[in-house]
Amino acid sequence: MSARVTDVAPGMVREVTVVERPPTWRGTPFSLSYVHLDREVSGTELLEIHRWASRAQLENPRVISPFTLEWSSVFHPRFYRAAAQAGLAAQGAWEPVAVNARDAGLQSLWLESVLFLSAVTLSAAIVQSRFSEGTLASKYDRLWQAGRLATRGLVPGLQGERLMQDVEAMASAPGIPDLERLLAIRRRFEEVIACFEHPAPVTGVNMAQTALPAGMRARFAFVDELKERIGGKLVCVIVYGSSVNSRHFADYDLVLVVEDPEAVLRRLYASSPVFRGKELNVGVYSPDELWRMQCLSGDNLAGYGLCIYGEARVPAKPVDDLLLRNLSFGIVRQRQQLGMIAAALGDTPDPADDRRNLYEYFAKIPANIAKGTFGAAGQRLTKEEAHQWIESVCGFQTPRMQQLAGTGEPGRALAESAVATGAVLRALNERFNIVRPLRASS
């Protein structure tokens, strides 16, 4: 059903459509309130719309601007079609500039993006205990979506009904230890990701250990400790991020390629490894798992990672595919930001609360998108350069909003960040010509 809105500022809200969704693994139906806007809004206006939605007692409000709706034609086509059928289609649709724009491929791109962003955090959930009940619920949601879409033929080879039954069983089973639950979730993600066929031309690149300068050898001298902890299952270690390209860095980002990922994750469970006072943020994969995950990523690991032990084969994807995936990740993250604002209104997270880290992370989404997209085009930005570029584009000050997200007004920080995410995506598209308005058929 839908209802016309009359008690907000003219020219902002066009219509509210309340959609009741059927039960998922949660067992009960739920409603989403899509608040369609006539124009793009500022962070302040977005926050006021959410406050109005709260007063109007709208369930699970999702604010949809013209930009969000139009770009859904590429990055969430099922949603775009549903809006069109409800008479809420935007002024026009878009299409990728250099990638085949078949509908099935765009639907798959959306699902691949959602699942990749959810699966890529599983190692940290296990090794650093970075999870909560909300985290687990979001993983179940993503797997359920994949199962539902598999029943409609979107994921060939995946038994959708069985996956949904597995999710229901995992979610309802009492007393399962956290580690066993996380590993079971990880297995289901790997099953789904193994069903994707990457449409773009992909070549293989070997990443092998090379001699490091003396200073770099000391910086990455944790390899022997990892080998001792993991045993003979370690195949390769690849480091990336600021520990590779900056003199000053807060932590280490690394990929561990191993023979038996579950056995290694059991050994590392809740250990939160550190080296010289800096945390080791590890992703743990088998060689095949690394290949499949990298096929779905928005970067080419060989282009920015450094192999400090062993050898691994990784995919190299064309730039056009990388650019499109980075925009897709940005759209997924923006929708998550928009969905979090209502819950964050009035919240003041405790310094020890997991929500603080979550809010701070989502406040820096514009920077993550900028760094990823520039990197896909071969331009590696430092954190500071990304922050400066974003501020020049839309005035968004990333460090200030991260501070506000963690200790002050997370609702405001998320609203400002969601608006900045849209501005950054549009600016990146203008710079790299990734998607364009759909041309009329001749």
pLDDT on residue 89: 66
pLDDT on residue 76: 95
What are the sequence ranges of the domains in the chain? 2-99+320-437, 103-193, 203-317
Question: Who's near 217: CB < 8 A, 6+ residues apart?
Answer: none
Q: What is the pLDDT averaged over residues 282-295?
A: 97
pLDDT tens-digit map of 107-130: 999 999 999 999 999 999 999 998
Comparing C-alpha atoms, which of 429, 430, 420, 427 is closest to residue 42?
Answer: 420
pLDDT band at 349 (very low <50, low <70, confident <90, very high): low
pLDDT on residue 91: 66
pLDDT on residue 55: 87
pLDDT on residue 358: 86
pLDDT on residue 11: 60
Burial 265-276 (b: 16+ CB within 10 A, else e): beebbeeebebe
352 pLDDT above the threshold of 80 = no
User: Structurally, what CATH architecture does the domain formed by 203-317 represent?
Assistant: 2-Layer Sandwich (3.30)
Q: What is the pLDDT averaged over residues 286-294?
A: 97
Q: Which residue has the higher pLDDT, 355 or 62?
A: 62
pLDDT band at 200 (very low <50, low <70, confident <90, very high): confident
Write phi, then psi, for 120 (nearest 5 degrees): -70, -15
pLDDT band at 346 (very low <50, low <70, confident <90, very high): confident
pLDDT on residue 132: 87
Q: What is the pLDDT averaged over residues 158-173?
A: 96
pLDDT on residue 441: 46
